[in-house]
Amino acid sequence: MEKAEKFADPIRLLEEEDILNPKANSFKNLGWSFVGGCLAGVAAVLVGHPLDTVKVRMQMLNIPLFRCGKTMLLNEGISSFYLGIASPLYNIPLCYAISLGSYEMGRWALGLGFHEQMSFMQGAISGTWAGITSCIVLTPMELVKCKLQMEILPEGAKKTTAMAMTKKIIKSQGIRGLYRGNLICILREIPGCAVYFGAYEYIKGFITEKYNAPQFAPFMAGGIAGFVSWIVSYPQDAIKTRLQLDLGPIKKYESHKFWKDGGIISCTKDIWKTEGMKGFWRGFSACALRSVVSEAFSFFVYEKSKKFLTRRNHVM
225 to 38, 70, 75, 221, 309: CA distances (angstroms): 19, 28, 34, 6, 24
**What's the rounded Cα separation, in Å, for the pair 128 and 194?**
5
Tens digit of pLDDT for each residue in 256-281?
A: 777 778 889 999 999 999 999 999 99
Which is nearest to 101 in space by CA: 137, 123, 126, 122?
126
Residue 180, C-beta contacts closer than 8 angstroms, at least 6 positions apart? 139, 143, 173, 243, 244, 246, 247, 262
Give the range with max mean pLDDT: 26-30, 72-76, 95-99, 296-300.
296-300
Helix (H) or strand (E) run with residue 133 in it:
helix 120-149
Q: Using CA atoms, how far apart are residues 127 and 141, in angstroms rounded to an integer?
A: 20
Mean pLDDT value across the chain: 83
Asked if residue 11 has pLDDT above 90, the reply is: no
CATH topology of domain 9-315: Mitochondrial carrier fold (1.50.40)
What average pLDDT score do residues 42-60 get? Answer: 86
Question: Residue 16 — very low, low, confident or very high, per pLDDT cuts 50/70/90?
Answer: very low
The 8-class DSSP code of residue 315 comes to H
pLDDT in tens, 23-37: 666 666 777 788 888
The pLDDT assigned to 173 comes to 83
What are the phi and psi torsion angles at 213 (to 5°)? -130, 65
pLDDT band at residue 22 under the 50/70/90 scheme: low
**Angle (CA) 234 239 244, round 5°:** 120
Q: What pLDDT was estimated at residue 124?
A: 96
Q: Which of 177-191, 216-230, 261-275, 300-314 has the lowest mean pLDDT?
A: 300-314
Surface-to-core class of residue 297, CB atoms within 10 Å of its CB (0-12 exposed, 13-18 middle, 19+ buried): buried
Evaluated on CA atoms 15, 20, 21, 25, the torsion sign reads positive
Q: What is the pTM of this model?
A: 0.79
Min mean pLDDT across 1-15, 53-67, 76-90, 125-139 is at 1-15
CA distance 135 to 115: 26
* Per-residue pLDDT at 41 exceeds 60: yes
Higher pLDDT, 14 or 131: 131
pLDDT of residue 150: 81
More confident residue, 293 or 157: 293
Q: What are the φ/ψ torsions at residue 119 (nearest 5 degrees)? A: -85, 170
Pick from 241, 298, 279: nearest CA to 97:
298
- The secondary structure of the chain in percent helix, strand, coil, rounded to multiples of 5, reads 75, 0, 25
Centroid of chain to Cα 264: 21
Give the pLDDT band of residue 240 (cuts 50, 70, 90): very high
Measure the CA–CA gap between 25 and 297, rounded to whole angstroms. Answer: 26
Q: How far apart are CA 130 and CA 232, in angstroms?
A: 16
Is there a contact between 310 and 19 (Cβ–Cβ < 8 Å)?
A: yes
Residue 213's pLDDT band (cuts 50, 70, 90): confident
Q: Span 80-88, mean pLDDT? A: 82
Confidence of residue 3 (pLDDT cuts 50, 70, 90): very low
Confidence of residue 296 (pLDDT cuts 50, 70, 90): very high
